[in-house]
Structure formats: structure tokens, C-alpha cells
Amino acid sequence: MLDNLIQYGDEKNREWALTTLRISERFRGKRRAVGNVSFAISPGQKRRTIYDAKTSTSLPGVLVRGEGDPPSADQAVNEAYDGAGATYDLFRDVYERNSVDDRGLRLDATVHYGLRYENAFWDGNQMIYGDGDGQLFNRFTLAIDVIAHELAHGVNQHEADLDYQNEPGALNESFADVFGTLVKQRSLNQTVDQADWLIGVGILTSRVQGQALRSLKAPGTAYDDRILGKDPQPSHYANRYQGTSDDGGVHINSGIANHAFYLAAMAIGGYAWEKAGRIWYFALRDILRSKSTFQDAANATILIAEQLYGSHSDEQKAVRSAWQQVGVI
């Protein structure tokens, strides 16, 4: 998406996109360096601290809201606070996980990072949110699933730690999307039939021809815009991207695994975070490793479905069928 903005946007668009890409690459390097180091608090205690960078790139910024403080007059602060809380609650209440690292990591976030920064990011220790350029992108705290997506990168960091390139990288992005949509659906109390299965509704401005950043239901249909280009995600393994851009297509081929989760969740029915989400979570936690491929993810989720719900159960059949439908097995 940012590559298209650099190619087809005006001079200001290109400048903002290039700045965003440079900063994002720096953070990815930091996330790899941090590894599994964590800064924990007492087990079982939710603690959120929200900072304001005031458009600078110095972290963490000025503390503007701590755990239990009343809402701020700044909506970005409240969105970051509430989104972190909803993500923490999903992992604690449904998967019995103690914060991002399962050891009580404090949830720090910085809003208003950089000038017109067009991204949100987990840097290995904390969340960072840009305000967007106001022309193509709104502030990145607007969408709770984007907040949860980035925090889920932290969960991956402390579990499978999937490499950020090629198929492991696409799985890294997909698991983040899966947990992002689960947090959103749970916060709205939506069943699989009620959910829109879109990631990032509201992030794109009204100037953009698009409804969201990605679609788990129909990868490749989230946007089709003159400047941002067309959503490049495939829904079938036969159509996977095999080039070197985007770290080997991590944001592109994630659509394949995303669609597999959507198909499994729809077949199982009910609330996606209960059975389908549980299967995906335990596969990430207990089986997958840094070099895992789509085939590994399929095998892992099928095995976890059997362990949780029984051999030849409806749940296991749904998971197996989902991976078959997207061409992975």
C-alpha cells in the first residue's frame, strides 16, 4: 500500500510514505533485537500507560493516562487505552494468558507519534500510533482491530516468534489479523455471521476508494484506489505472491491464512474467539516455531483441533476443510 503511495502519490504523499517506511523498518529491527525480553508487573494485573509524543519521534513521550485514570479529552489516548484493555481481556479471559508475554507485561503505548506518521507498530516493548496524513489515512487508534493486531505481534514475539519474511512472515501477519478481528468481534459481541471480517475500518479516509485495510472474508477486495492501488491479497495458495518485495509478501500472502481462519470459524459457528480462536492460539503457543510454513500451520491447527475437540470432530473437520479450500493441503 505504501509502495503504491510512493509511486502514484503527490510529492507530500511520497514524502510521508517514505518517512513511514523508514521508521517502520527501524522498529522491525528493534523488535527482532528485543526478542523475548519483557518488562513485567505483578501477575494478573492489567496496567496500561498511554504517552503522547506530540508529533515527535522521541519515545515514550509525555504520560497522559495511566491505569484507572479517567478518560482524556484526547480521543486517540482513550482509543489506545480501551483497545489495549480489550486485547488484554481477550487473552486473559479466553486463553488464560497473562498479558502479551504471559508474564504480566505492562501495556505501554505512544500516540501522536511523528508528523503524519501513516502506521501503527509494536516495537518489541510498546505500541506506537501515528495520526495518518489526514488525506488518505486517519489516525491509527480509530480501529480496535488494528490496535489488537499490533499487540498480537507481541504475543507472537514471545511464542512462535515467526520470522518476518516469506511464509513465516505471512503467518506472523495473519495471526495478528486473526487476533485483531477476534478482539473486535468480542468487543461488539458478534457471532461469525454478524461480523464484517474486515481489518481497519475507518483508517482509510473518505477520499480513498476502499472500506478497510484487509478482508478475511474476501482477500483482495478491501480497497481499489487510484493512488493506493488494489488490495493485492490472494485467498488461495496457487495465487500466492512469490517475489521479494514486502519481505517476501508478508502483508500479501497473509490473506491465504486469513481466509483459512475465516472459513474454519464460519464452519464452526458461534463466537469465533471461543473454538476457532482457541485452536489458532494454542497452535501459535505450543507448536509453531520461527521457520514454520503454511503447511506447518495447517498441520498444527488440525492437531490442536483434535486435541481440544476430538479426532474427526466437527471442529477438526472444519479446520482441515478450511486449509484444503485455500489450497494449502
Condensed to tens digits (0 to 9), the pLDDT of residues 304-317 reads 999 999 999 999 99
| Beta-bridge mates of residue 63 | 51
Q: What is the pLDDT of residues 59-89, one digit of tens each?
A: 999 999 999 999 999 999 999 999 999 999 9
Q: Which of 41-45, 54-58, 99-103 has the lowest mean pLDDT?
A: 41-45
Domain ranges across the chain: 2-157, 166-325
Reported for 160-164, long-range contacts at CB under 8 A and 24+ positions apart, including other chains, are 160/284, 160/285, 160/288, 160/289, 160/290, 160/292, 161/35, 161/36, 161/289, 161/290, 162/288, 162/289, 162/290, 162/292, 163/290, 163/291, 164/28, 164/32, 164/247, 164/250
92 by DSSP, 3-state: which?
Answer: helix
pLDDT exceeds 50 at position 3: yes
Annotated active-site residue 158? The verdict is no
What is the assigned CATH class of domain 166-325?
mainly alpha
DSSP 66: E
DSSP 122: E
Report pLDDT for 186: 99
| Res. 9 pLDDT band, cuts 50 70 90 | low
| Res. 17 pLDDT band, cuts 50 70 90 | low
Q: Which of 9-23, 208-222, 236-250, 251-265 has the lowest mean pLDDT?
A: 9-23
Residue 283: all three cell numbers together: 497452535
Annotated active-site residue 236? The verdict is no
Q: How many beta carbons lie within 10 A of that of residue 91, not counting itself?
A: 22
| Res. 13 pLDDT band, cuts 50 70 90 | low
What would the DSSP string read from start to end of 280-291? HHHHHHHT--TT
Catalytic residue (choose from 149, 153, 158, 251): 251
* Residue pointed to by grid coordinates 475500518: 201
pTM, two decimals, is: 0.89
Catalytic residue (choose from 79, 118, 150, 167): 150
| Res. 45 pLDDT band, cuts 50 70 90 | confident
Say yes or no: domain 2-157 is CATH 3.10.170.10.
yes
| Beta-bridge mates of residue 48 | 107
Q: How far apart are CA 99 and CA 127, in angstroms?
A: 14
